[in-house]
């Protein structure tokens, strides 16, 4: 099977079968390149990327009309409002209040990048997660955001209370970066680069090697060929050296 590529009226024939066999013949080099770049990605991740930790706290916001009664309408309304609660948690009022309370040296946008809120359509529980380079700071910020958000939600939405489901944990394991993920990405990138290099070298190499190359590149028919022997070539080189 052949594919033809035309450029500036010069027709170049690409034998896909030959390209495939060339890639197979260089498979060892390609795999080695992938392994090498994968290892370099892991080492680079360990040396140059600062690990971050994630701490999560959970709250439940329930719109109750009476302290002793809880209707299905109350639960449905609370579920529908979880997205509104997420917006309130990430509001400037809450996050700037946390920055001032903890005396943090960061802007609102920097704090916003640290805080993520997850809600579910079939649950009234809202998860507040904070990522930071220090696990203790991440936990402290998460709890502060939860408390500040609870007051803000109660004030804006005019509800009874915000209940704490889980307090923020102090993470022991880093959330990012992932050594395995970066290693796999680096390995795949190394394989792709090596394959591309092999194919590009093949396409740009117009050296005449066999009789078919004469017809392909020069458009001439081969009338005959002279056999070449490496032994004869070596003996001729030795004789020329002796004469000198």
DSSP sequence for 141-199: HHHHHHHHHHHHHHHHHT-SEEEEEEPPP--SS--B--HHHHHHHHHHHHHHHHHHHHH
Query: What is the DSSP code (8-state) at residue 26?
Result: T
Domains of the chain: 2-46+178-209 (no CATH), 53-166 (3.30.70.1130)
Measured N-to-C along each axis, helices 135-157 and 82-89 cross at an angle, to the nearest 10 degrees, of: 120
* Listed residue (190, 197, 195, 198) closest to 37, CA to CA: 190
Question: What is the per-residue pLDDT across 203-229, written as a single tens digit (0 to 9) for each?
Answer: 887 676 666 666 665 665 665 666 655
- Does this model's pTM top 0.75? My answer is no
Average pLDDT across the chain, whole number = 78
Q: Tell me if residue 1 falls in helix, strand or coil.
A: coil
Percent of the chain, pLDDT > 70? 68
pLDDT tens string 48-104: 888 899 999 998 876 655 445 555 555 555 556 677 888 889 999 999 999 999 999
Phi, psi dihedral angles at 45 (to 5 degrees): -65, -40
DSSP state of 244: -
Overall average pLDDT of the 39-53 stretch: 89
Cis peptide before 162 (omega within 30 of 0): no
Q: How far apart are CA 221 and CA 232, in angstroms?
A: 27
Q: Which two tokens stand for residue 166?
A: 């889980």
How far, CA to CA in Å, does 240 sit from each of 229, 230, 231, 244?
17, 15, 14, 6
């Amino acid at each position: 099977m052949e594919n033809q590529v035309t450029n500036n009226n010069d027709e170049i024939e690409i034998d896909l079968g030959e390209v495939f066999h060339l890639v197979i013949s260089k498979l060892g080099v390609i795999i080695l390149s992938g392994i090498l770049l994968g290892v370099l990605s892991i080492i680079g991740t360990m040396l140059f990327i600062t690990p971050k930790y994630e701490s999560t706290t959970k709250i439940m916001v329930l719109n109750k009309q009476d302290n002793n009664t809880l209707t299905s309408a109350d639960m449905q309304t609370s579920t529908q409002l979880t997205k509104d609660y997420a917006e309130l948690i990430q509001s400037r009022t809450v996050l700037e209040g946390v920055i001032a309370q903890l005396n943090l040296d960061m802007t609102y946008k920097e704090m916003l990048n640290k805080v993520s809120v997850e809600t579910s359509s079939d649950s009234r529980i809202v998860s507040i997660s904070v990522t930071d380079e220090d696990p203790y700071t991440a936990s402290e910020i998460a709890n502060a955001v939860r408390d500040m958000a609870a007051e803000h939600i109660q004030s804006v939405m005019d509800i009874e209370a915000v209940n704490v489901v889980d307090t923020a944990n102090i993470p022991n394991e880093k959330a990012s970066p992932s050594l395995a993920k970066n290693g796999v990405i680096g390995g795949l990138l190394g394989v792709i680069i090596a394959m591309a290099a092999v194919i590009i070298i093949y396409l740009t190499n117009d050296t005449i090697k066999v009789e078919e190359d004469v017809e392909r590149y020069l458009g001439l028919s081969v009338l005959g060929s002279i056999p070449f022997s490496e032994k004869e070539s070596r003996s001729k080189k030795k004789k020329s050296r002796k004469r000198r």
